[in-house]
Amino acid sequence: MTPAGGAIVGTLVIDRAPDAVAGARRWVVRRVAAMPGRPLKEDAVDDLVLCASEVITNAVRHSGHGGVGGPISITMLDRHRAIRLEVRDGGNDAGRRPARATVGTAATSGRGLGIVEVLATTWGDNIDDAGRTTVWFEIAY
């Protein structure tokens, strides 16, 4: 169990590499498909996968500053009304909390947390004493 509560559906650890994001997306789809009763409708699965992709990509891109960092841990929980995904990076020395960026219409990046904010039922983050950031979100079902 994590502090958020709920049954753990699965945990995956990936390297901090851009090509690991696609594998993590496939893992999310497989874990949801294997859930008894398949509680999420197709649109909710799409939202879950898109939000997962954005949060995992942010962990890959933004963790490890200053030579600090390590693998990224992804935990999926069934909270009996929502699926919660927690993505914990390996740490960094920047000490900044994740924040939704304000980007122009021509920008090619910077929309990830804005997408999560719109699609997820709720989301948030925390930073532990070792500097590891966990960004989590929930998709209701």
The pLDDT value given to residue 90: 80
Residue 2 lies in a domain: no
Determine contact, residues 69/89, Cβ cutoff 8 Å: yes
pTM for the structure as a whole: 0.83
CATH number of 43's domain: 3.30.565.10
The pLDDT value given to residue 101: 56
Residue 35 lies in a domain: yes
d(CA 46, CA 131): 31
Residue 123 lies in a domain: yes
Assign 37 to helix, strand or coil: coil
Count structural domains, the chain.
1
The set of residues, in sequence order, having a beta carbon less than 8 Å from that of 76 and lying 6+ positions away, is 8, 9, 10, 11, 28, 31, 32, 83, 84, 85, 86
Residue 23 lies in a domain: yes
Residue 82 lies in a domain: yes
Q: Bigger pLDDT: 71 or 12? A: 12
Residue 1 lies in a domain: no
- Which of 26-30, 34-38, 89-93 is most confident? 26-30
Look up the domain containing 17 and give its range. 7-140
**Per-residue pLDDT tens for 37-93?**
878 899 999 999 999 999 999 898 877 654 555 789 999 999 989 999 999 998 765
